[in-house]
Structures are given as structure tokens and as C-alpha cells.
Structure 1
Amino acid sequence: RGEPSARAPPTREGNRDTRSAMGRGSNEQRKRTNGEAGSGSGSGSGSADPKKAFTDLGVCSALAEGCLALGWKSPTDIQRQAVPQLIDGKDVIGLAQTGSGKTGAFALPILQELLDKPQPFFALVLSPTRELAIQIAEQFEALGVTIGLKSVVLVGGVDMMAQSIALGRRPHVIVGTPGRVVDHLSNTKGFNLNKLKHLVLDEADRLLNMDFEQEIDQILKVIPRDRRTQLFSATMTSKVQKLQRACLKNPVRVEICSKYSTVDTLRQQYLFIPAKFKECYLVYALTELSGSTAVIFTRTCDGARRNALLLRNLGFASIPIHGNMSQAKRIGSLNKFKSGDRNILVATDVASRGLDIPSVDMVINYDVPLNPKDYVHRVGRTARAGRSGRSLTLVTQYDVEMFQKIEHLIGKKMENFETQEEAVLVLQERTSEASRLASMQMRETDSRKGRKRSAKNLDDDDTNDQEHRAELGLRYVKSRKSRK
């Protein structure tokens, strides 16, 4: 319940000998860690010795090296304030805007204590979505590679037996969605959290908005009262306050951002356009800003499918991610985008919180979000960790009121995105044809799925065949005629 239908990749495991692995790391592992490049979540001016910036917080030398291997040059604000408190053994509630480095803030203290007192089922991290759970586990593993960390991801869409086998290897850290964690607590023989030391509730406001209260309550009933709890959220809602009172003991409140806001390094622009030319202006903006990596947000799954196909028909390297895709395809889309194989990700709000895609240059709001707060989460995909970024919101005659609410919420007036009308009109005919073809492709794909037939080349999730893309319109029309 509340989780997108999806499938997760297999879990990873480290050294089987837990105690010896936690005490030392092999030379090969150290070389691999130090050789990794990462954009990381660190920001700030840094220091003469970047490693010292983390050790000054109380982080041990081995983990500080892991931070540097990930490209974290210095701690973020949330890390500076939360890490020392957590290392001192206090419960923490952290309020910070997206992209602030929250994962590092709770992962480093957990790994440090685990290094001193290794045990299986040491920490449980609850996440609202499967993609975020996978990402959190990846950061834990990257930071803990030199100490033989074992982790498991428990999310829906994966065979329970495969996850039960992974749990049988007794991992140190469990990252999962509440529903699947409860499933394993109820059905997996020998699995319990009776000795759990750390509970982390990440994106707590979203966990509660997705109606996970019942599952969280079930988990709280079966874990020790004598534990450490960390709660991280973008906002302090009434539900979050209630959860805080229920599961945290005298927490230290770390607040980086007291209200919804956007970072100063984000250039926010808008484009006021007629609704009937919306697709044309999207193509114009992408053409003007060619070479940039972009996330385009739509309001619906069909909108994401359609725009990804439209752009692909025009030669853009676009790929969709939305809630109606299988887990394998969603993870595949995300990985292709992160690797640079595709530079445009067309997404619904399923991807707008928690996913750290560090190289995004631009966010385009193709549809103005109905909830102004979702705007902040969307544009949080760019200008992360001190980097610069740009956002562009397409505003039609029907969106003016919602757009004004967004400006009121963030306390800023957006600047107008300058256009050349003649250049836009030149694109109209090509865009209309690509749009027509995208509609045909969607109907064909849906028809084939309805008949339970393969839609290999016409599947709107992705197209790898360059020749197919070049001849798409002609081949498609011929196939329609042949069936008639």
C-alpha cells in the first residue's frame, strides 16, 4: 500500500565474516573505494584538509576516507549539525530541504557505531519509495566498503523468498519500505528485530502522506524501546509531530530550513504560453538549452509516456520514469539517465523526492504542480549541494493561479524565459507530427499489451535502435495499413 508497483535489483553482500570484516578492510577494497568518483552531497568552502572536515565532526578516519572517495569535499549543514549529536548517542529530528545530504547525516554515525560494535540487524532505515531505498543502500555500501558492510533492500515487486535468503545472511543494515518490512517480520522464519540498535525514518512527511502509519506502528511494537531513532523530513507536519512524540526520546532538533524555500544557486524561470502550443515551446526550450541534462516533470503517467515518445521522435535522448512502469524498467531508466546514456528524464512526481541524480543541469515543469510544495521538491533535483542549476516552468492560461501560489510559497518572483516567436513557429509542424506519431505509438503499445503480445520495438519505455528511431514513422504507418 502506498508503494509504486515495481521490482528491485538483487541485494549486495560484503564479507561473510562479520567481526573480522568490521575490524579491517582489504587493500583491494580500499583501492576500489579511493578510486571511485562521486558528485556527493558535500558542499561548502571546504578546508585545507578535506578529510579533517569530517574527522572534526567525530567521524573516524576510515569513514572520512569513504566520504572523500564519494567526492564529498566537506560536510553539508545538516551533516555538521546532526552527525556530532548522533555520535553522542542522541535521538535527532532533522528538518532540511531536499538535496541537503540527509543520507550521509544518518549513515555515518550508524557505520561508526557498527564499526565498534558489529552485529547483524543493527540498523533499519524506512523509506517511502523503492527507488529511494535502493539509493540509500547504495550510499551505505559505498561508505562501508572498507569495513565489509552487508546490507539488504526489502521492497515490493521482488520475490519474498529471494529476500528471505538475503536476510538469512544476516546483514548489518536493512533498508526498505514499511509494507515489505512488515511482510518479512510476519512471514520470514527466524527474522526479527529484537536487537535493533538504530531506526531511521527518512522522508518522514512522505512516509505518512502515503498512509504507512499502520505499518510503522507495527514495526515500532516489535523493536526494542532501548534504541536510537532518527527522523528526517522536509517539513514538520502535524503527522510528523505525532510520530516524533511516539518514537523519539528527548530528540535534538536540527533545522536547516524552517520553511519551504529554494536554494540561491537555482535560477528559476517561467514561460507564459498558450496551452495549444505547449509541446512546441517545450521543444524550443530544450533546443535552446541543448547539451544540458534535464528532468521534465508531468502530472500524469500518460503525460510522461507521451512526452518521452514525442521528444524521442524528434531526436532527443529522452526516457520516461513513472508509476505504471515495472520496477525493472524504472530502475533501468534511472540508470541510463545517471550513466549519461540518456540526457532527458521525463518523470512524474514518483521521482521528485529523494533521488539524488547529481549531474542534472535543469528541471522543466511541463505541468505546473497542483500542490505548490511539490514545486520545491521537483526543482530540488537541480542546484544540489552548492552547484548551480536552472528551472523552467511552462505556464498556460489555466495555470496562473497555481503559479502565483508557488511564487508566494517560495517568496520569490521568477524571471521570464526569453523566446523568439519566429523560431518557435518554425518548430510547430515537426512537433505536431511527432506528437501525432507519439499518440499512435501509445495506442499501439496499449493495444498490444491488452492482447498480451510483445511490444518490443514499440514499447514507449525506451528505444535503443537508432535505425528504428529514424524510420519510426514510416514503419509504423505501414504496419497499421498491413493490418487493415
Structure 2
Amino acid sequence: MVLVKDDCLVYTIDDEQIDQQTGESTDSEVSFGADLLDWGLPQPAVARAVERHETRLRETEDLQEKLAHTSELGASEAVKHLSNQSELGSSERGSNTALARPTDDRFKPLLKRLRRPKTSRDEGTGVESVSNPRPLAWDELGLSSRVLSALDSLGWMQPTPIQARAIPVALAGRDVLGSAVTGSGKTAAFLIPIIERLHEARRATGPRYPASIRVLIVLPTRELAVQCHSVLETLCERSAQYTAQGAKSASVRITERQEWMRLRSVLLVGGLALKAQELALRHQPDIIIGTPGRIIDHARNAPNFTLDDIEILVLDEADRLLQMGFMDELREIVRLCAANARYRQTMLFSATLDPGVEELAHFALATERVVTIHVDATFHLVATLAQEFLKLQTTEVVIDPAQDDRDTWTHANEVMQSERAAVLLALCSRSFTRRTMVFFARKRTVHLFRLIFDLVGLRAVELHGNLTQSQRLDALEGFRVGSNVDFLLCTDLAARGLDIHGVETVLNYELPGDLREYVHRVGRTARAGRHGRAVSLFQQANRKERHLLRQLRDQAKRHAPLADPLNPHEQVPILVERRLPASAVREWHERLLSMRSSIHEKLQHERVERELHRAEQLKSKADNLIVHEQEIYSRPARTWFQGKSARNRVTGHTRGTTPEHETRHRRQQKNGPIAKKYTNNRRMASRRVVTKRA
């Protein structure tokens, strides 16, 4: 609904649709639109946005017509251009590598399909970037019929912009520095050329293809690694089901030739058995997908496993890797892959290109052969995402999660008495009842609402760092299937890279601290061109949340309104205010107060179960130590590339912290540590013990 008052445009959504009948608005709505989102313009914002959008379309069409006569080269010229750019000299490429530089002979079957990516070189830095305004089809990217058949069977009709620009460059053997908005298909942008190059190498060598680990893909979290491994397995399985002649519908029996053409991969993540992973590594898989810590652990401690033969290195979600404090681990991984550095292809993909990512690219990528691919501006949101904001009426005390020292029951009691909890339950029970992800700042808040959702009959699962790896995978799989789960309650653990089909709504129980995390949270919906909705609860008195909303307002002014999927003739603005009737909020507030005793009993019962489980684990560990004492002590100690002090420093102060935590840590280093209670008493007690022993 659009309300106009004194030439100020305000967008509101009311669940009861009362204002559509009266046509009136309250002062709070007008102040929200004029002061916070600043829609007060000389002419309506929607008309201006439509005009800007039409102007951009006309300019794009004119540019395409001008480039149509000069930009396209012949296929043979394109292959020669790519080969010359990626040439490192035949002497530099050893004859023992299977993924040697692409030559004209190897690309002869692809000459009719391959097109030259249009690149431009920055004279100041010497870095090339790719721009291609014309959308391409899969058969124009130089892919084999086997891979084309697999893409067709998956229903991938057309490559996304990042895929259309990155795949030809990756096939040519160049290093890639790619940046694209979340949900744009970056995973397939590096998996497809990897599969294509490995297939080409196997065709060239035949059954005598040497077994070796040639590809390493590094991701920040276990869930992302599992998802990437699943996509890779699907692509390899589909490509193995079709013949090389391009049969698209009739599956054929896998022959002996197709069996040695099959690619093998291994998943290396924490939370899974080490011995099973070591056994899989002994068979020399083609591709390894994993997280930094487990990869380094196996590289240093697993027998007969090295990264000397790595020919393709992929660092995905690089900004998240750096935010989690994996810079030292990434340097170590690049060092372990240094044996093939002269001809190794490195691809680095990130949703944002901040200074940290540029520093990572400086030592991981080869400057003379890197191509930078920008698809979307930094921190931009997709145009198919509608953002809604619900302003809380009461003021709450904001507690930093790092400084939250409340016990479990005190935290639960304060949450259940807050207006925010009642508003969230009202939204989940009235407006967004299926395929919804809810993000929280604290793990124990996630668990608390999972208990509340169970009591009120809302089907939900939780996902956070306190769960085991099997529990995380079960929660993700249950929400993906969607038969018995409607809500996924999670922390920022699920905010990066997870591609869950059919997510309709993302709810932010608390707004994140910066724009980057907000972009990744809401990026779980409106993926691959689909429409989505993000709803956030906020306090107007919170300075950080106001700053984030102003940044989103500035972005919204640059986009045209969305077409309503239910009514194509109507347009939905990108930023709207959502309102709830006060009666619904009061009803849920009363229900929450009445459930406090039940929640308290459940929390007490879980605490007792945790203590019993911990006692059983200690007993089992002691029994194993008694029975297998000689075998346990005879095992070689596992090593790490860092010393204990350096590892504790990185783990305690960098990994998983926010910029505010890092600032506080630097202040403590400058002014000295903060004295803790009873510190002197403990020191005196320890001195007394030492004195008595002496």
C-alpha cells in the first residue's frame, strides 16, 4: 500500500489491510518514511526509479549494437588470443602435468563454440578485467557435449553472468579473481571448468591417466564444503550417464571407458572420522574439497598424502575465510601447493572484494596471468529481493554477545518478556508460515526459540555451532526436503553460500552489525532470479541499526520497483514498512509469559542430560585409556604448522570475532589486561602451594 502525505511517499504493509479502506496513515509511519528511509523527494520515488531503469536499458541496447560489429572475433582467433595470454612457455610447463596449457590441437573440437572474453587492462595495476554485456548460452562457452548434457539434465538453461564470464577464462588456464553478488552461481563457475579440464586431460592420456590429486577446493565452513561436494558429485554423475555424442535423454550403460572417465572426490571437514578420510586419500582422488584446518591436518599427519601435484587451487568465499581468521591457514595451504606454482591455476571467488581479499589475492594469484571479473558492485543486493522492516515500539537494552554473561535461565526469561519475541511469533504464525529462515545473533537464543516453536506447534529445526556435525547435516537436510520442517532457526553459520531451494522469506530477529553480514543473510532467498522477501526487526533508538538502514536506503534509490509476482500489473517497492496489529502482539506476549515454567523445566532437564552425557564420555575415555594404553601412547603425536602460543592467540582473538571485538582487544593490549576478580587471591594461593612443596 502506498500512502502520500505532503508529497512524501511512504510504503506500508498491514496484515489486517485496515489502511486500504480508510486511506489514512499515522504520524509514526510518515516519520519512518521521511526521516529514516528518506522517501521525501520532489517527485514520487517510484516514477524516478522507473525512469532511471528505462534509461539504463536504452543505454545498454545502444552499447550492444555498437559492440556487435567490433567485439566478436572468429573462434580460431579467440583460441589463439586466450592461448597467447595464458602462455607460460612450454619449458615452464613440465611434461608430467596432465592439465597442461590449452593448445590449438586440444581446442580443435571447440573452435565453433568458443568466444573470446572481452578484457580490459588497468594501466596503473596491469590487472585485466572481463566485461561481457551480451548474455551467452552454454554452448557458446567451449564446453564438451558430455558437460552440456549434464547441465541440460539439471535444468540449467542459461549461465549466470559470473558463469558466462568466468568459465571461458578458467578453461584457458588463467587465474581468476571473481566477485559477484551472493546467490549468483559462483560454485558452478569454478566446478564446470574443473570438470571440463579434467575430462579433457583424461581423453588426451587415455586409460594410462596417472592417479594424482590435482584439484583442491577450500571453503570456510563444513556446511559449504558438504554442499559444494554434493553439487560436484551431481555434475560428475550426470556427465557419466550420457555418451560423448551428446545424448540428452536416453541414459546408457556405463562402459569400461566411461568408468575410468569418472572423476573421484573426497570431502575433508571436521566432525567426521579421520581414519575414513585418510583411507580415501590413499586412493588418490582427483578432487579434494574441505575446510582449511582439516586439510592442513591431513597434509601434516596423514601418511603418503601431499599437495605437491595440485594443479588447480580454488579459494571460495574468500571474504568469509578471512573474517573467520584463516589467513595464516590459507598462507600455509598456498605454501604446501607451491611445488606446481609455476603452472598452477588459482581461482579466488568472493562476494565482496575488500582490502583483506586483495591481500589474499596478492600472494595466492599470479599477477601476470590473473583476470579480475566483477559482476556486481560491492555489497549490492539482487533486484528481485523485497526488503521489509518492522519497527519495535518499546526500547530494549542491547547487550553485545561477546559481553553477555547472563546465565541460561536469565537470558531465556528476558527474551520471553520482550516485545521482539512476540513480534517474531506473530509473523511466523500469521504471515510467513513456510520455507522461512530466521537469523539470530546468539546460539542459545536459537535453541530457546526452537523450544518455543515446538510448544506452539510450529515445525522448526535449529542450526548453530553447538551442534555436532551429524546434527547440522540432519537439520539442513530436513529443511531442504521441507516435508516436516517449515522454519530453519540459525546463526550466521548459515549466512554464507548455502543454496537451499525454495526459501521464500528471511527473518532477522536482530539486525547484524554491518552491511556485509546483512547482504549474506538475506542472500539465502531471491536466488538465481527468483523473488524473495527479507523482514527485519529493528529499534529506531539503536544507532547501529539506523546506520545500516540508511545504507540500505541509499541502495534502494538506485533500483526500480519490483513486479508483484501475484499481480504483474502492480509494482512492489524494494523497501517497505511492515506493521502488525497490536492485538496480535499482545496475544503472543501473554502466551510467552504463560510458557515460562514449561521452558524452565525443559532447560533444567537438558542441563542434567548434558552433565550425564559428559560424565559418560569421560568414563568411556578412561576405559579406552586403560584397555588400549600401549596402543594409544605408541601413536605419533599430531603436529600443526603453528606453535601453541601463536595458535591460541589466533583462535582466541581473531577467529569468529567482529571488528568491535578486535578493537577492544587492541585497546587491552595497549593499556594492559583488565584485572579479573580474585586474580590476586589465586596467585597468592598458588604461591602458598609452591612454598609448602619447597
Give the shorter-chain TM-score range.
Answer: 0.7 to 0.9
8 A contact 1:293–1:362 mirrored in 2: yes
Q: Which residue of 2 aligns with 1:438?
A: 599
Deviates more, 1:83-92 or 1:442-451: 442-451
Letter in 1 for 2:228: I
Change (3 A) 1:405 1:194: same
Deviation of residue 163 (structure 1)? 0.4
1:323 is paired with a residue whose SS is coil
Letter in 2 for 1:270: F
CA distance in 2, matches of 1:149, 1:439: 52
Q: Which residue of 1 aligns with 2:431?
A: 289
8 A contact 2:215–2:313 mirrored in 1: yes
8 A contact 1:260–1:409 mirrored in 2: no
2:598 is paired with a residue whose SS is helix
8 A contact 2:179–2:349 mirrored in 1: yes
Deviation of residue 412 (structure 1)? 4.1
Q: Which residue of 2 aligns with 1:244?
A: 361
Q: Which residue of 1 aligns with 2:477?
A: 335
Change (3 A) 1:377 1:403: farther
Q: Which residue of 2 aligns with 1:315?
A: 457
CA distance in 2, matches of 1:241, 1:290: 40
Q: Which residue of 1 aligns with 2:146?
A: 62
1:417 is paired with a residue whose SS is strand
1:81 is paired with a residue whose SS is helix
Say yes or no: does 1:122 pair with 2:214.
Answer: yes
1:350 is paired with a residue whose SS is helix
Q: Which residue of 2 aligns with 1:174?
A: 288
Q: Which residue of 1 aligns with 2:518?
A: 375
Change (3 A) 1:439 1:322: farther
CA distance in 2, matches of 1:434, 1:454: 31
Aligned runs of 1:223-262 on 2, under 5 Å? 223=337, 224-225=340-341, 226-249=343-366, 250-262=369-381
CA distance in 1, matches of 2:365, 2:268: 24
Q: Which residue of 2 aligns with 1:263?
A: 382
Deviation of residue 389 (structure 1)? 0.6
Change (3 A) 1:344 1:387: same
Q: Which residue of 1 aligns with 2:155?
A: 71
8 A contact 1:260–1:410 mirrored in 2: no
Say yes or no: does 1:428 pair with 2:542.
Answer: no
8 A contact 1:368–1:403 mirrored in 2: no
Say yes or no: does 1:326 pair with 2:326.
Answer: no
1:200 is paired with a residue whose SS is strand
Q: Which residue of 1 aligns with 2:175?
A: 91
1:117-141 deviations in whole A, cap 9, x for unaligned? 1453121000000110111111111
Change (3 A) 1:55 1:436: farther
Deviation of residue 436 (structure 1)? 4.9
1:420-469 deviations in whole A, cap 9, x for unaligned? 222332333223334553343233212320233799xxxxxxxxxxxxxx
Letter in 2 for 1:134: V
Aligned runs of 1:431-470 on 2, under 5 Å? 431-434=592-595, 436-452=597-613
1:24-69 deviations in whole A, cap 9, x for unaligned? xxxxxxxxxxxxxxxxxxxxxx99xxxx921211122211222233
Letter in 1 for 2:481: S
Q: Which residue of 2 aligns with 1:305?
A: 447
Aligned-residue Cα RMSD (Å) equals 2.2
8 A contact 2:538–2:545 mirrored in 1: no
Letter in 2 for 1:240: V
CA distance in 1, matches of 2:379, 2:333: 30
Letter in 2 for 1:171: P
2:376 is paired with a residue whose SS is coil
Change (3 A) 1:73 1:407: farther
Say yes or no: does 1:280 pair with 2:422.
Answer: yes
Deviation of residue 102 (structure 1)? 0.3
8 A contact 2:265–2:285 mirrored in 1: yes
> Comparing both chains, which one has the higher relative contact order based on Cα–Cα distances under 8 Å and sequence gaps of 6 or more?
1
Q: Which residue of 1 aligns with 2:26?
A: none
Deviates more, 1:323-332 or 1:427-436: 427-436
Letter in 2 for 1:372: L
Deviation of residue 367 (structure 1)? 1.2
CA distance in 2, matches of 1:436, 1:266: 40
CA distance in 1, matches of 2:358, 2:152: 35
Say yes or no: does 1:141 pair with 2:283.
Answer: no
CA distance in 1, matches of 2:231, 2:344: 23
Deviation of residue 409 (structure 1)? 4.9
In structure 1, stretches of 5+ residues that fail to align are 1-18, 20-45, 456-484
8 A contact 1:130–1:155 mirrored in 2: yes
Q: Which residue of 2 aligns with 1:107?
A: 191
Aligned runs of 1:339-358 on 2, under 5 Å? 339-340=481-482, 341-358=484-501
CA distance in 2, matches of 1:95, 1:406: 24
2:613 is paired with a residue whose SS is coil
Deviation of residue 162 (structure 1)? 0.9
Letter in 2 for 1:120: S
1:316-374 deviations in whole A, cap 9, x for unaligned? 01111001111111111111000112110000001100111121000000011122321
8 A contact 2:539–2:545 mirrored in 1: no
8 A contact 1:372–1:402 mirrored in 2: no
Change (3 A) 1:453 1:196: closer
Deviates more, 1:200-209 or 1:146-155: 146-155
CA distance in 2, matches of 1:203, 1:135: 13
Deviation of residue 218 (structure 1)? 1.7
Say yes or no: does 1:212 pair with 2:212.
Answer: no
2:467 is paired with a residue whose SS is coil
Q: Which residue of 1 aligns with 2:84?
A: none
Change (3 A) 1:116 1:338: same
CA distance in 1, matches of 2:217, 2:450: 33
Deviation of residue 267 (structure 1)? 0.9
Letter in 2 for 1:251: V
Q: 2:223 aligns with which of 118, 125, 131?
A: 131
Structure with larger Rg: 2
8 A contact 1:310–1:435 mirrored in 2: no
CA distance in 2, matches of 1:392, 1:103: 27
8 A contact 2:166–2:189 mirrored in 1: yes
Q: Which residue of 2 aligns with 1:189?
A: 303
TM-score (normalised: structure 1): 0.80
